[in-house]
Amino acid sequence: MPPETLDFSDDVSPLVGSYAVDDVALAALTRSQAAAAPLCHACDAPIAGTPQASGLLVWARREGIQTEEPPLCSACATAIGLTALRRWQLEDEEG
């Protein structure tokens, strides 16, 4: 089928994708993603303003112990905090 006969209608949606073709495009793409609102690490909900809570990820590598504090929304921070507190209480009760 020659290209001039292609018909993009509602029945056939074109494939949509994006990629950086060079370093300038990659820098522009990275900058626009960095300017976007931070997302909750647990539920991916956008967080308005500065995140008020964060998680703590700790892992060990040959280079030493690494940590990361990903942002959390208030609902996930509360749920994770209460779950951790409850598990701590259960461990104390069980000995």
Residues that bind Zn ion (CB under 5 A): 40, 42-43, 45, 73, 76
Identity of the residue, 75 or 85, whose beta carbon is nearer to Zn ion in the bound complex: 75
Host H or E run for residue 77: helix 74-94
Identity of the residue, 29 or 45, whose beta carbon is nearer to Zn ion in the bound complex: 45
**Rounded distance, CA 69 to CA 90, Å?**
26
User: Smallest distance from the beta carbon of 39 to Zn ion, in angstroms?
Assistant: 8
β-strands 57-61, 64-68: how paired? antiparallel
Identity of the residue, 25 or 43, whose beta carbon is nearer to Zn ion in the bound complex: 43
User: Smallest distance from the beta carbon of 72 to Zn ion, in angstroms?
Assistant: 6
Q: Note whether 39 and 45 are within 8 A (CB).
A: yes
